Chains A and B, each alone.
Chain A
Amino acid sequence: MIASLLSPALLLAGLSATPSTPDPALPFTTWKLKNGLQVILHEDHRVPMVAVDVWVHVGSGDEVPGKSGFAHLFEHMMFQGSEHVKEDQHFAVLREVGASMINGTTNFDRTNYFEVVPANQLEAALWLESDRLGFLLSHVNQESLKNQRDVVRNERRQRVDNVPYGSSRMAQFAALYPEGHPFRYQVIGKHEDIEGAVLDDVKAFFRTWYAPANVTLALAGDVDEATARALVDKWFGALLSPPRPVKRPFPVVALQKNERLEIKDRFAKLARLQWTWHGAAQYSPDDPDLGVVGDALGADGWGRLYRRLVVDEQLAQAVYAGPSGMNATGQFSIAVTLKPGSDPARVEQIVRDEVVRLLAEGPSADEVRRSIVDTETNILFSLDDLLGRAERLQEMNHYTGDAGGLPAYLARVRACTPPSAQAAARRWLAKPRVLVVTVPESAPATAPTSAPKGGAQ
């Protein structure tokens, strides 16, 4: 083990001068159209570009049993064309007007669609977005749906079935959420459910969830408010909307006892242990404290488990710890990827010891401060690009109900203390958890190794 050359006292003395990070300015205005569509505008005139970011307040958590993966498959269909935008022309138009960052993503609780366009092409983007929001169903067709079912199943292969640890993650979710729970098959869903999706599903899902009243449009960049209001009115104002759909709350589930699963993996050659607890919802009061707990345990370089498992005992290749909120619920995970030949029982013991120690003593003041600095810094850098700002406003709006919630959130992060983090850890990590052990299906084909020739002593 390496002795520290600096005494803790000296380190602390050096720290007291560390200036705090000022809150980033993220001014915005927000308004609603008559049909209920919410608009958020952030002006930044430094570069002639505008990020167009549409959030639909629906995700895979709103699926019903037998339709897993549908919210995401539907997201794919939104790119296939609409009444006035021909099949496969959405991307082509955006490409021709000079858009960058064109994509859409589906989460457990929301779906987003975005592009960053030259400011003088903003209207083309609003035309495209409003057409698929208002006129999708007159275009959707069987051929296109059949194709996207194939595409999404390929996506599942690429993210789950053909990669290391993909099957373990599926098993982890299945252990946490019982049959019938909308998180059970993750966002991507089961092959048979994806294959079973029909046009009527597309139509029903669209009519229920893709109501303008269930949509928030964020614009960030080089457009003034008067222009933004006029253009949004022009393209979205005439769309009719049923009332905003009522989201049913995600079922809250709990584990009765600890579970341990062993998953054989064809593609992983390094064993992995992953513990997962049910966790706090994103932006809920315990969320920042659980972030601190995750860093204290698993931060790259300085987390306790990183130091013990990667640096001191050299049992692990990599360590992760932290919460992942999913609106009304969440998870907290600790994952350790082992080096070849490491003893999983030894790793398990160390993780258990460190979690117990953290529950008993809480994190140190240094650890709490480092975690806060890390969060502040991450947020600042995430605002470098226009889309990052639009996404931050959307996230605050969706999860806290206030697009301007960033300062309050940062204040909450900065209010974390060793006792508050310890209390949150005790509320969540003393409960039963799932341990998924990924076992490489065959022994790694290591080349014959000798002692390092001329290696360091």
Chain B
Amino acid sequence: MIAPVAAVLSLALQAHAGEVGAPTVRGPAVDRTRQPAAGPERDLALPPIRQFTVRGIKGYLVERPGLPIVQLELSWNLGGATDPAGKEGLASLCVDWLGEGTKRLDKTAFENKKADLGARIGIGAGAETTGLSLAVVTSRLEPALGLVAELLIEPGLRPADLERLRGQAKASVVQARGNADGAGARAWSAAFWGRAHPYGHVVEEKSLDAISAADCASVVKRLAPEGAELVVVGDVTVEQLTPLLEKSLASWKGKAPARAKVGPPRGLKGTVFFVDIPGAEQSKVIVGHGGPARAAPDYAATMVMSQVFGQGLSSRLVQNLRERNGYTYGANGGFAYRRSGSAFMVQSSIRTDATGKALAEIKHELTGMSTTPPTSDELRRERDGGLRALPARFATNAALARSVGELLSFGLPLDTWQRFPAELRAVDDKAAAAAVKAHLQPTQKVVVAGDRAKVLPELEALAKDGSFGREGLVLLDADGRAIK
């Protein structure tokens, strides 16, 4: 029976509405016209990182008592970047296969065991690293480590699991092609990095089909202990953890892979790249160019100026596209760091009819970074605010694991975070302007995934006027291949 909705809804909304002009305050007034002064600032207190070695694994542990939980992240220098041509998706598929069970426990038994322990065990390959994570309640750490060890030392690698995962990976490709976000990301990989570049691989059904069980067995074999890195954060000490690791990993041997060398981008020739998503109500827009390495000496200045440009609601980009023009719900711009170099990327989903206008505004704000470098107000907000916000990077288990992991991933010294406040404090207007000059380039590549009928004419005009560059317009399919 459907309840008489209308009757219930007829209760007046404004039952307690105040009178217009009624006072909203009583009693002694506080001075609201000025932001209250801050209390004394405290120096950043960084918890110590304790190092240890177990079976050749380089371990980094931060103790954080309080909650009875612990998380571990084991990582290897192995990822999609080293997938051979024609087998794009190799590392990801094979690493997923490893996570499906052990010799003793098939998929179902393994999943049941994980659930019995409440152990979150995840394993996956990105472009440059493979990571295995375990998050578990401290009291069940020992059996959970035993399960992880069993996975690593005696993986199940059942052919049926590989075929199922291959089918799921192929279905993900099909899904990704169909919407502006998915297609835009694939097109960017091809246009900016290049499909043949380690960071530009585009996974397709046929590349997944080309991967054999033997290929995977050799990938899995490379996930060995000696040289792998392990970050541990939580309610555990080195003294408690290492005996557990020694015991569970006693029979694990072998050398982990070294870092892969990756060259500069080798993207497609062209300035504006377009993928058709018929009926799209928003265009996915990515604008960008190459950038510096994470280890560059002016990292702090680059960070501050890129925040002024495109991070957070107060940034120039978001104030323009969202708050002044209402073209989008959100936008961001900044440097996406890889182990080798970075990409400067501006990304947004733009209302279809505003695509051309929004691109012009993005160009305007990019140019504005040179003509009006970060102002003292902007520097105060992003630099001083950034300094004050540093404790947040070390305030939770998850944040600590991320911050330590960042150092390891980019090969930065372990005292990087100790030195960082001084580096950030030193970013003045000159340094910020210099970072703009050094790292924001006059031309960009533009990738748009949207509705061809409504968007393409504007893009043709944009390619012709040359504001982003003079290499013309290229139509791509959702796999990043030029359409002839």
Contacts and interface: CB of A to CB of B under 8 A. Distances in A.
Interface of A: 2-6, 11, 14-15, 18-19, 21-22, 24, 44, 46-49, 62, 64-65, 79, 83-84, 88, 91-93, 95-101, 116, 118-121, 123-124, 126-127, 131, 134-135, 146-147, 149-155, 157-158, 161-164, 178, 180-182, 203-205, 207-208, 211, 234-235, 237-240, 242-243, 245-246, 248-249, 251-254, 256, 266-270, 299, 301-302, 307, 310-311, 314, 317, 339-340, 366, 369-370, 373-374, 376-377, 380-381, 383-386, 440, 444-457
B239 to A, nearest CB: 21
Given A99-B389, A162-B179, A455 B209 contact: yes
A151 B322 contact: yes
B38 A120 contact: yes
A157 B162 CA distance: 37
B117 A18 contact: yes
B49 to A, nearest CB: 16
A254 B386 CA distance: 52
B213 A456 contact: yes
Given A121-B38, A154-B326, A453-B209, A65 B9 contact: yes
Given A2-B107, A149-B326, 14 more contacts: A92-B314, A100-B392, A121-B38, A134-B24, A151-B328, A162-B180, A181-B5, A234-B30, A240-B25, A377-B137, A381-B69, A385-B396, A455-B163, A455-B211
Contacts of B109: 4-6, 11
A93 B328 CA distance: 23
Interface residues of B, number: 130
Residue among B6, B23, B478 with the highest chain A CB neighbour number at 10 A: B6
B438 interface: no
A123 B386 CA distance: 19
Contact of A150 (B18, B32, B174, B326): B326
Contacts of A340: 170-171, 174
A91 B168 CA distance: 41
A55 B32 CA distance: 22
A381 B401 CA distance: 14
A88 B315 CA distance: 11
Contacts of A307: 108
Given A98-B389, A269-B175, A301 B114 contact: yes
Given A95-B314, A240-B24, A374 B38 contact: no
A101 B32 CA distance: 24
Contacts, number: 361
Interface in B81-128: 104-109, 111-118, 120
Interface string B13-38: 11111101011111111101101111
Contacts of A155: 329
Majority secondary structure of chain B interface residues (helix, strand, loop or mixed): mixed
A44 B32 CA distance: 29
B25 A239 contact: yes
A449 B209 contact: yes
